């Protein structure tokens, strides 16, 4: 892969990783409610989950959805249902958890990684990346570069969203503010479904 293509890929990875979407909304909410250390497994899960999705699409998973549109519709339904469940869970969260033993918790590494497989934005980004940056003359090499670049760019980009949430903790220390924030973030997460449903 040429330097120009690598720079273009890195720019694409940065813009798509740092722009608002379901995972980033959840990270900001988690950072605000649980702090950065407890949100770190979620950050890592998003990066690993997306990279594995990108690898799967590059290996031909995207072609299955073109061949069988019912699979695509099924994925949309499962993804939408899970995203709405997470939005509800966020909206009901009511206190900043400073006690590690508290029953409320951020998403785990595995939950975050698996969520990428039903995340509409993640699928759109992975399909676009493979369509634009996969070199037919050297598919394995270009796929390896794509996965490496996305992993390296995605990790700090999504960490920024968790950091935004952490920065809001002082402001949200009052229960009324936190309640409004969590309801707003839950609603915003649900609204991220709109592009998929059009």
What is the pLDDT averaged over residues 87-100?
Answer: 67
Please write the tens of the pLDDT for every residue from 26-53.
Answer: 999 999 989 999 999 999 999 999 999 9
Q: Which carries the bigger pLDDT value, residue 188 or residue 163?
A: 163
Q: What is the pLDDT of residue 97?
A: 57
Residue-wise pLDDT for 57-74, tens only, equals: 999 887 777 777 787 777
Environment class of residue 185 by beta-carbon count within 10 Å: exposed (0-12), middle (13-18) or buried (19+)? buried
For residue 62, give the 3-state DSSP assignment. Answer: helix
Residue 143 has pLDDT above 80, yes or no: yes
CA distance 54 to 116: 10
Look at residue 144 and tell me whether its pLDDT is greater than 90. yes
Look at residue 98 and tell me whether its pLDDT is greater than 80.
Answer: no
Q: Which domain, by its residues, includes 189? A: 3-197
Q: How far apart are CA 126 and CA 58, in angstroms?
A: 8
Q: What is the mean pLDDT of the chain?
A: 85
DSSP 3-state percent helix, strand, coil across the chain (nearest 5): 80, 0, 20
Look up the pTM and report it: 0.83
Model confidence band, residue 96 (pLDDT cutoffs 50, 70, 90): low
Number of domains in the chain: 1
Percentage of residues in the chain having pLDDT higher than 90: 42
Q: Output the pLDDT for position 86.
A: 80
């Amino acid at each position: 892969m040429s330097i120009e293509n690598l720079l273009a890929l890195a720019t694409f990875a940065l813009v798509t990783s740092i722009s608002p979407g379901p995972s980033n909304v959840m990270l900001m909410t988690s950072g605000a409610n649980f702090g950065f250390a407890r949100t770190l497994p979620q950050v890592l899960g998003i990066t690993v989950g997306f990279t594995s999705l990108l690898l799967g699409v590059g290996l031909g998973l995207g072609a299955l959805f073109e061949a069988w549109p019912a699979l695509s519709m099924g994925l949309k339904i499962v993804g939408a249902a899970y995203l709405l469940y997470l939005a509800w869970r966020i909206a009901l969260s009511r206190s900043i958890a400073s006690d590690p033993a508290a029953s409320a918790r951020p998403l785990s590494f595995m939950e975050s990684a698996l969520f990428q497989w039903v995340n509409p934005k993640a699928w759109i980004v992975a399909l676009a990346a493979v369509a634009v940056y996969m070199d037919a003359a050297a598919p394995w090499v270009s796929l390896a570069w794509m996965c490496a670049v996305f992993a390296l760019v995605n990790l700090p980009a999504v960490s920024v969203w968790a950091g935004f949430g952490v920065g809001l903790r002082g402001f949200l220390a009052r229960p009324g503010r936190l309640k409004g924030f969590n309801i707003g973030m839950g609603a915003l997460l649900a609204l991220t479904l709109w592009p998929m449903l059009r």
